[in-house]
Every structure is written in structure tokens, then in C-alpha cells.
Chain A
Amino acid sequence: MDEPVAVVGASMTKFGERDAWVQELLAQAGKECLEDAGVAPSDVEHVYAANMASGEFEGQGGIMNALAHDLDLLPAYSQRVDQTSSSGGAGIYAAWQSIASGASEMTLLVGGEKMTHRTTGDATDVIASITHPAEYKQGVTLPSFAGMTARHYLEKYDAPRESLAKVAVKNHKNGVDNPHAQFRKEVDLETVLESPIVADPLRLYDFCPITDGSAALLLCPESVAQEYADEYAIISGVAGATDTHVVHEREDPTTMGGVVESSQEAYEMAGIGPEDVDVAELHDMFTILEFLQMEGLGFADPGEAWKHVEEGRTDRDGELPINTSGGLKSKGHPLGASGVAQGVEIYEQVTGEAGPRQVDADVGLACNVGGFGNCVITTILESGGEAA
């Protein structure tokens, strides 16, 4: 199909510590998304539920079936999408494929996760189970990968430790204006640098929180979108790539091959380059990841991303605002929801619906990272209809 794929609706629940279980969270975001677009449940032909570990976290399987039933989408085709922390981005890719292939003319994507009822140790272990057994037996965690990589980056490029802390300060500042964010409170540099060490040299405020929440997007061909809305977004580029399962096998620990490969393919599909991007949502599960993605996406040369942050170029009023939503750092990181929520923020930015977070943006990019760069999805959204 040559017709562009459009995003015609978006929603997300409040992120944070929620009483609702994953089934209810998914239904809430999905229902609000259909209402946002004015689309009837009977018009949905495909529904995708992006989720990493509902079975491990709460013993609940079959969530795509539950979602389809709870929203009266029957007999729509339903599928769960799991790609660890990039399940949401993989859901965007799957939903895009369903429309682009002509298999569906209206596809609902909902990503969600329920995590906060588990202890930090238990949740960390569920996430660490994605590692290779040779890594798992050493007690490695995703935060410890971040600690080792951050040390390597700082030593290799002679970057100041404070530059990482400034990522946290920036993203918390942005999150203040996001009503759905888990933390809507600014933090100062001193607070970040004096918070408890989690994985040396990284401290508590270098890490995203454990979060419950859900987010949704509604996709259809552009001609169908025009029946429902004057302003919508076009998915002009989307691609995924995979890096090594064993993290230490990468030649350069500071290069995320999945980010490089997926973004190059997405840029090519969209016919643009990194210089054309007006706003970006990056997967700042750890502050160091924002640097690595900026460099992998071509927003900064290798070893230079920290300077962009130091100089304020990634602030909301900077040359390239990054994580205007507050990012995972402030908004929270319900694993399966995060990639979809990145899409929600970019959709709102390119359609002019971002409220106090609004920047001047016609082209936005979302980079959703699974594991420690193991699987990556890059998505580019552009203004469509009267928003263009």
C-alpha cells in the first residue's frame, strides 16, 4: 500500500503507583483513545497489546484478548507484542505494518504494565531475566550495565559527571508540565549528585522509577484519518534493529548499534536526516542512555552529546528539545507502555496539542530501547492534515 499511515488518536493514563491491574489500565487508555478520535469500537479491525511481563508481574496472560473483549472490539484480530522495554515501539511497528499491508483499516495499539505491587528487587529481577544466563548468574541488572557504560563514557570522553545529572534535572523540569507524569517536581543538580549510589558512578536520580500505566495510539490510512480529523500525524518512518544479547560482546560499549541501524532506516524511509528533526523522545531509562541515543541518532557526534546538554541545546527552548514529556526519568517507565507514550508525546507535539509543553515542531522522533540497547525501534512522526 502506498498510502501513508496516519495516527488519528492518542491517550495515556496517569503514570505512577496505580491501584488498577494491567487489564484495567489497558482498557482505560484504549477507551480514551477511541473517544479521542471519535471512532466506534466496531470500526477497529486489529488491536495490539504491548506488554513485557504481565505473566511474571501479576500472573495475568491473554491480555490482548481481555483488551478486545473489555472494549467490545470483537471479532477484531488481537495480538500481544513483547520486545522487553521496547514492546511499545515494537507495537507501533506492528500496528503500522497492519495498516501499511492493507490487512487493517483501523488498528488500536495499547501498551501497558503493572509493576509497583512488586518490590524493587523483584521487579529488577524480572527485568534482569532478559539477560544471557552467563550474565544473569553474575547478578547483573540493567542499572549495573548503565553504571559500567557511564563510567566508560565519562573516562573515554573526559566528560564531567555533572553532565549526566543535568539530563535528570532537564527531564524532571519538563515533567512538571505533564499531567500524566509520575513525578511532577523539579530536582536540582545537588540533589541528583548527592542521592544514594545505585550503580557507581550513577545515583538514584540517574534512574527512572518503577511505574504502572498505559498509553494508546489509533492508526489508519491517511484517507480514513481525514474522515475523522482535520489534524493528525503521519508515520513517515519506522524501523527496528537488534544488537547483541550479550552486552559485553559489543566492540564499543558506548555505541548502540540498534539505535544507529534503526534510525538510519527510519530516516531513509522518511526521506529526512537528523538535522530535520524538531523534537525527540528518547529512552532515558538511565541518564547515560540519553547521551548514547543522541549520538546513535546523529543528533551529536560521538563523545559530544554531553556538551549539547551542558549548553542547553536539548532544553525545551533549545535547538532540539529532547524529552519534552519528562522522559522515562520523570514521566515513569511502565515497560510495555513507554514506547507508546513516547508516540503519544510526539503525536501531541506535531499536532499542536502539547499544551504548556508545546514546541515548534512539524517532525518528531521517538527512540524506544529494549534491554540495554538490545532491541530498538525508531519512529518518525510528521504533521498531517491541517496540522501540516
Chain B
Amino acid sequence: MSEDDRTPKTTDGGTASADGGTDERPPFAATRYESGAITYPGHPTGPEGTEPAETVDLAEYTGEVVTWTTSTATPPGVRQPNHLAIVEFEVPDPCGDGVQSVRALGQLTTDGVETGDEVRPVYVEELREPGVGIKDEDSAQDWDGYRFEPV
């Protein structure tokens, strides 16, 4: 199942790159629920039992590194070392009177990133080599996605 399959509809994203140009990248699709909460990835039922309302493209935002690690013992098909971070984004509410926080985990484009640094998502066609690990290349697993690059 792809990220798109897990979300009800796409209201934005899909064409804008981080530098404002255009490309064919898919959205970095988080889900906003009727409660206003946002999660990445999305779920059929959201926090407090609310229904998905729309998707939000996190690639249009920058985020702050909450914590990070460099993993040196990586599974087959994964780059070594693998720099990883949990990043928090603040997404404006649709009505414009506040922000909603949402976190995502992803690879970092480089080492040397510290807690509190600002990063932006960049699209990558293959985050790990498909089919090398326990999951088949043609399985429900998707292999593309976003890394985080220091701003």
C-alpha cells in the first residue's frame, strides 16, 4: 500500500520542489484529520477517533530536528552509515489562526546535523535498495520518499 492509498485525497503538492521549481515528485503526504490533528504517515482513523480530512505536503515546509542518530549496523540494502532524524514540522491551520505540529522520521542527507537544526525535505527515488532485505521488490512496500537536508 503506498502513502497515497492510505490517504483520502490530495489537495496540494506533487509539483513544487524545495527550491520553488517544478518536478515530478510525489507529495510528502501527511494526513490532517477532522480534529485538526496531523500525522505522518496517515491512518484510516486518526487521533481521538476522527476521520481523515485532507493531505498536507510536508515538502512545502522546513522542520526542526528533534533527535538524530547515525546507524552503523544497517540491514541489507541500506546505506552505511545511515544518518536518521526525527523532525518536527509546524503546519498552519487551514483557517490561519494557529499551527499544528507533526513529526516525521527520515534519513539525513549528511552527517553533522544537530538537535534543533532546521532541515527541509528532498525527494529520493530509492531510499534503500528494493528487494534486498526481507521484503520483495514488488511487495506493498514503497521505496521512494524524502530525506532531510540542512537549510
Interface mask (B108-151 → A, CB under 8 Å = 1, otherwise 0) = 00000001000000000001100001110000111111000000
Residues of B contacting A247 with CB < 8 Å?
Answer: 105
Residues of B within 8 A of A198 (CB): 71-73
With A133-B142, A246-B41, A253-B67 known as contacts, the answer to whether A138 contacts B107 (CB < 8 A) is yes
CA of A201 to CA of B84, assembled, Å: 13
CB proximity to B under 8 Å, residues A200-250: 200-202, 246-249
- Tell me if B9 is interfacial: C-beta within 8 Å of chain A: no
Asked whether any CB of chain A lies closer than 8 Å to the CB of B75, the reply is yes
Asked whether A59 is an interface residue with its Cβ less than 8 Å from the other chain, the reply is: no
B145–A144 CB distance below 8 A: no
CA distance A128 to B75 in the complex (A): 9
A163 at the interface (CB under 8 A from B): no
Do A141 and B145 contact each other (CB < 8 Å), given the known contacts A136-B135, A253-B86?
A: no
| Least distance between A220 CB and chain B CB atoms (Å) | 39
Please encode chain B, from 80 to 122, with 1 for each CB lying within 8 Å of some chain A CB and 0 for all others. Answer: 0010111000000000000000011111000000010000000
**Bound-complex Cα distance A55 to B79 (A):** 27
The answer on a CB contact under 8 Å between A137 and B134 is no
Which A residue sits closest to B105, measured CB to CB?
A: A248
Residues of B within 8 A of A137 (CB): 127-128, 141-145
> What distance in Å separates the Cβ of B116 from its nearest Cβ neighbour in chain A?
9
Any A CB within 8 A of the CB of B60: no
Closest to B116 in A: A155
Report yes or no: A149 in contact with B84, Cβ–Cβ below 8 A.
no
**In chain A, residues 138-173, which have Cβ atoms closer than 8 Å to a Cβ of chain B?**
138-141, 143-144, 147-149, 151-152, 155
B67 touches A143 (CB 8 A): no
Min CB distance B70 to A, Å, is 4
| Chain A interface category by residue count | 35 or more
Size category, B interface: 35 or more
Question: Given A139-B79, A148-B86, A133 and B73 touching (CB < 8 A)?
Answer: no
User: From residue B140, how far is it (CB to closest CB) to chain A in Å?
Assistant: 7
Contact bitstring B50-81, A, C-beta under 8 A = 1, else 0:
00000000000000001111111111111100
Which B residues touch A134, using CB under 8 A?
Answer: 3, 40-41, 105, 145
Please tell me which stretch of A118-126, A308-316, A380-388 contacts chain B, meaning at least 4 of its Cβ atoms lie within 8 angstroms of it.
A118-126
Contact digits for B1-34, partner A, Cβ 8 Å, 1 yes 0 no:
1010000000000000000000000000000000
Nearest B residue (CB) for A245: B43
Task: List 7 tightest A-B contacts by C-beta distance, closest first.
Answer: A147-B69, A139-B78, A125-B75, A144-B71, A152-B67, A134-B41, A125-B133
Provide 24 A-B residue pairs closer than 8 Å at the C-beta atoms, listed in order of the A residue. Answer: A121-B73, A126-B134, A133-B142, A138-B82, A138-B127, A138-B145, A139-B74, A139-B77, A139-B127, A140-B84, A144-B71, A148-B84, A148-B85, A152-B66, A152-B115, A155-B67, A198-B72, A199-B69, A200-B70, A200-B71, A200-B72, A202-B69, A249-B103, A253-B66
B interface residues (Cβ-Cβ under 8 A, vs A): 1, 3, 39-41, 66-79, 82, 84-86, 103-107, 115, 127-128, 133-135, 140-145
